[in-house]
Amino acid sequence: MTETLTKTHRGGCLCGAVRYTVEGPPAIVAQCHCEACQKWSGTGHTISATFAAADLSLQGETAEFRYMSENGNEVTRLFCPRCGSPLLGRNTGLVGYLTIPLGTMDDVPDWRPQVAVFTRNRKHWDGLPAEAARFEAQPAWRPAKDG
């Protein structure tokens, strides 16, 4: 991921009402099979990149939905109120960071999931990335720069 250290990435929703820019490479790219991600994505998993919240610039109105995750953290999902596209996720278990679904990015580099989480919830018809570490639930994790 070193080729994207200073790159600005852009993305947004289906209708174009919400746009964002985010700087640099993600702290991690994860494939999540939790039931909430399945419902949010409408398929068997999400693939999202985690960035420092300070590196994001968001333009346009968003709506949000909050709920408690399986491990007791509050999760906030931001989406476009016009077209419904999922845009960002925040989790009280990882303060200062947010997740961006890769499908909303205009220019996704060759980022691949490094981890697959909540594999215990994986649908029988859904695959797992061969090279990713696999966890039945959400492991304790902090970005390397946070210690």
Neighbours of 31 (CB within 10 A): 26
Class of the CATH-defined domain 2-135: alpha beta
Provide the pLDDT for residue 5: 54
Q: Kindly tell me the burial class for residue 42, based on how many C-beta atoms sit within 10 Å of its own C-beta (0-12, 13-18, 19 or more).
A: exposed
Provide the pLDDT for residue 52: 96
Cα 75 from Cα 72, distance rounded (Å) = 9
Cα 81 from Cα 137, distance rounded (Å) = 30
Provide the pLDDT for residue 145: 63
Provide the pLDDT for residue 141: 76
Provide the pLDDT for residue 103: 95
H runs (alpha helix) in 18-83: 35-41
Q: Which residues, listed in sequence order, are joined to residue 89 by a DSSP beta bridge?
A: 77, 99
Provide the pLDDT for residue 146: 57
Residue ranges per structural domain of the chain? 2-135
Provide the pLDDT for residue 6: 60
Give the mean pLDDT per block of 10 residues along the chain (147 residues): 68 98 94 94 95 97 95 94 97 94 91 94 93 88 66
Provide the pLDDT for residue 1: 46
Provide the pLDDT for residue 105: 97
